[in-house]
A and B are shown apart, each in its own frame.
Chain A
Amino acid sequence: MLAATTLDGDQNPTPFVVALRILSNNRSLPEKLSAYLTDVFTQALQVLADPESITPQTLPEAIKLAVDLRESASLRDALASAGTDTISAKVAQEILTSERRFAAPR
């Protein structure tokens, strides 16, 4: 919006958010969504290590996650220990919480 408004709710259900919601409920991901999420995690760790590695092909969700990881040691540790192929419901919920900052209506 052009002028100030209240910030509430997740009004933009992206595949990234949906994938995390499924994992946070201890359910398994469909194959395609799982491969996509692995790509996001892999690229996020690359961007975290070297922001100059961003290219036009970098997934936007990976850049957002890299920003979150940079600011949260607990999130970095959780993702590092879980690996990029599978994460726990707790880590998924933690990432979802961080992701909300990017989800306000405009």
Chain B
Amino acid sequence: MRPRVDLNLVARALRHLNDSAYFEDRLHQFTSHIVAAIQHVLDNPGVYDAAIEESFARTARSVQAYLAGSTSNETPYEVVYCLKDALTRWKLGGAAIVTFMTEGHNFHLQPLDPWDFIEKSIANYDSKGFKLVVAMIGVPDLYAHKPVFCVPLFHELGHFVDIGRYNITVTSLALNQNLVAAPGYNPQTEYFHRLEHFADLFAACFVGRSSVAALEAIAGAAAASQSHPSTVQRVAVVEAFLAGRNHPVVDLFQAALKRLQLPELKIVFETVDVTPDFDDARTFTPKNIEQVYGMFDSAWSYLFTAIDQNRNPWALPVRKDADVESLTNDLTEKSIRNFAIRQGWNAATSGP
């Protein structure tokens, strides 16, 4: 479709979205400002180069799709609660997270920054100082309310912190050309492989080994490709990191992070065991957010150990894997929600 036609359609869809009661307030503001920028371009035909209009239309279409996904009640609120905390640890506490429902195992990041584009390319538009960093993440709808299966979102958040904000991987390339993607050097493959290693390590800081356990479940036998290292290699890097062993890939990133004055990669989660509570069909009560992160790995182990060992912790008359999956995810989701409610209550009642 022609860019200006698309921009008109996107603006109309965004105005409709902005009537949604499901948005948080700053997403309403974000949407209003995007619509205003689109309207500015539409009101000024011939002012902006065709390449600018075409790219802006493409950016606007993506933004609209991700905002649309964030109005429904399918958004994985409990996991997003954790992701927002993770962002604050990387100096991105003001960022918003919007989600787009996908199919299959399609967890992904959309590395677009609409405000950066508008500021630099739509020169005559006055944003009145508004700027909001937005992480646009794809979540399979099948797993939206299955927090144990949403651990890949931490990997995607790692891509956002890297590609979307700080360009840690590309800085590591500038500082050090040592090969990660052996054998044979291909600059593009080297870059892509490092991206995946960084995102894996980022996720492991928060959700421990469950980050690569999810990868093993989805792509356990995957060999190295142009875009991704082999699963075996990715698991080895993460396991070395979690065990506190030196690893050249980890060192590459730590050097880049130091150069960019960013936090180092370090374990955030606290190891917990959900088994006693989950066996009693009770929610787990984390003492702090670090234990919330620790729940993901423990709940993952709980779920798949129960399935693999044919456990029947709730003495169901007929034991089914589906019941184990459903109850484990429900208990995990409610445990996080209870924690979030307690934190909100404490914050509201401990004022000055």
Contact = CB atoms under 8 A, between A and B. Distances in A.
A2 B261 contact: no
A105 B106 CA distance: 12
Given A54-B259, A63-B171, A2 B191 contact: no
A71 interface: yes
B222 A106 contact: no
A7 B226 contact: yes
Contacts of A21: 51, 55
A1 B170 contact: no
A4 interface: yes
B111 A3 contact: no
Interface string A2-46: 111111000011110110011001010011110010000000000
Contacts of B195: 106
Interface range for A: 35 or more
A87 B349 CA distance: 60
B174 A54 contact: yes
B266 interface: no
Q: Which of B56, B113, B192 has the most CB of A within 10 A?
A: B192
B192 A60 contact: no
Contacts of A67: 170, 173-174, 187
Contacts of B51: 18, 21-22, 25, 27
Interface string B97-118: 0000000011111011100110
Contact of A4 (B106, B159, B173, B222): B222
Nearest to B230: A4
Given A13-B59, A64-B170, A1 B117 contact: no
Contacts of A104: 192, 227
Q: Is the interface of B mostly helix, strand, loop or mixed?
A: helix
Contacts, number: 122
A71 to B, nearest CB: 6
A83 to B, nearest CB: 21
A33 B170 contact: no
A47 interface: yes
Contacts of B117: 13-15, 18
Interface in A37-88: 47, 51-52, 54-56, 60, 63-64, 66-67, 70-71
Interface of A: 1-7, 12-15, 17-18, 21-22, 25, 27, 30-33, 36, 47, 51-52, 54-56, 60, 63-64, 66-67, 70-71, 101-102, 104-106
10 contacts: A2-B155, A2-B156, A14-B113, A18-B121, A21-B51, A54-B259, A67-B174, A105-B108, A106-B108, A106-B109
Interface of B: 48-49, 51-52, 54-56, 58-59, 105-109, 111-113, 116-117, 120-121, 123, 152, 155-156, 159, 163, 166-167, 170-171, 173-175, 177, 187-188, 191-192, 195, 214-215, 218-219, 222, 225-228, 259-262
Which 10 A/B pairs are nearest by Cβ-Cβ distance?
Answer: A13-B55, A15-B120, A60-B167, A101-B188, A3-B219, A32-B123, A4-B225, A4-B228, A21-B51, A51-B174
